[in-house]
Amino acid sequence: MVTAGPWLDGLTEAQRAAVVHPATPLLVLAGPGSGKTRVITRRIAHLVAQGAAPWSILALTFTNKAAGEMKERVHAMLEAELAGARGLQVSTFHSFCATLLRRYGSSPAAAASDGTPLAPGFSIFDTDDARDAAKRAIAAAGFDTKNWPPALVLSRISDAKNKLLDAAAYAAEAGDFTSRSLAKIYRAYEAELAKCNAVDFDDLLLRVARLVKQDASVREELQQRYRHVLIDEYQDTNHAQFVIAGAIAQAHGSLTVVGDPDQSIYAWRGADITNILDFEQHFPGAGVIPLGQNFRSTAHIVAVADGLIRHNTRRKHKDLTTELEAGAMPQVIRALDERHEARVVVDEMVRQHEGGVPWKGMAALYRM
């Protein structure tokens, strides 16, 4: 067993513990600014140092930018210090699922709910394509886009797919007029996709989740290929992603998830916080390592954030700390209304600018 190497240099005690943890279920509770990307990339390097083939490692995240950064760091480290990273899979969930459907799309488990198979060379609809297909589906189902806006329809269908409900399954559960109406549109939407030999982004997850659940030969092949699974931003996973990751990792148990329920903000698009909160129930005996040291924010900011988030009830506790300077004391200003709020922000930026702070050194954050 290799116990030293450059991939272990410069790590905190908690980071090192996460990197060298055995190849068994592991939950890394990574607070903001705690170096989670470093932990994932170093853990991949450590697995390779222990003898794992790079092609047997699967690392999944949510954005192309995050996947690119992770891949770049890992490749640089493995090429420089170890045997190289040939075959290492670092990608987004959707990209990974698209690759699987290109390979296994002929399986009946990947077919549409009416049994229509996914033909080779299928297209992946982007947002505009999906909206146009939704408009046609609404009309085909006998409804009007004034009462059924395409954006609303696609949002409802997306919610259903994230819960692994295809058109037939959704129709079976539809109990009221609105749900039954949407079920008709959903069926028509599936027909539009089939007509174009296309899938949308949610289909990528839905069909692969069904694939790994229902097709034993595909599931076993993936389990044999990917002996180590690592997932970033685990608090943002939905049910379909939970099923995919769990099915691949269940045979060997080498599943590392990194995330923070305190930073879960995507419930509105299907993220299921129970995936991370109940990780130890899903994977009994899992290790849990908190990363609470913040390398990004000053002490006052960390203290305010820590004090505030402790009021959350659905969370896993970790102490947030930093070794950076105290910094400026955060201020909370209660505005009378949105216009007063905007005026306060502008006045403060002007004051800062007159005091020598350049405009490019300031940022105003707001919610739409």
Residue 123 bridge partners (DSSP): 198
Q: What percent of the chain has pLDDT over 90?
A: 74
Q: What is the pLDDT of residues 87-105, one digit of tens each?
A: 889 999 999 999 999 999 9
What's the pLDDT at 138? Answer: 97
Structure confidence at residue 81 (pLDDT): 62
pLDDT digits (tens, 9 = 90+) for 130-166: 999 999 999 999 999 999 999 999 999 999 999 999 9
Cα-trace Rg, the chain: 24
By the 8 A CB rule, do 320 and 294 touch?
A: yes
Greater pLDDT, 26 or 51: 26
pLDDT band at 203, cuts 50/70/90? Answer: very high
Residue partners of 94: CB distance under 8 A and separation at least 6: 201, 204, 205
Distance from the first to the final alpha carbon of the chain:
51
pLDDT for the residue 126:
95
Predicted confidence (pLDDT) at residue 236 exceeds the cutoff of 90: yes
pLDDT score of 6:
77
Spatial neighbors of 302 by CB under 8 A, at least 6 apart, are 294, 320, 321, 322
For 263-275, what is each residue's pLDDT tens digit? 888 887 888 999 9
* Per-residue model confidence (pLDDT) at position 75: 82
Tens-place pLDDT, residues 310-356 = 998 888 888 888 888 998 899 889 999 999 999 999 999 999 999 99
Q: Is 70 exceeded by the pLDDT of residue 43?
A: yes
Reply yes or no on whether the pLDDT at 84 is more than 70: no
| pLDDT number for residue 331 | 87
Is residue 155 a contact partner of residue 87, using CB atoms and an 8 Å limit?
Answer: no
Output the average pLDDT for the chain: 92
Q: Residue 340: its pLDDT value, please?
A: 96
Q: Could you give the percent of the chain with pLDDT greater than 70?
A: 97
Q: Is the pLDDT of residue 226 over 70?
A: yes
Taking the C-alpha atoms of 234, 240, 241 and 242 in order, what is their torsion angle to the nearest 10 degrees?
60
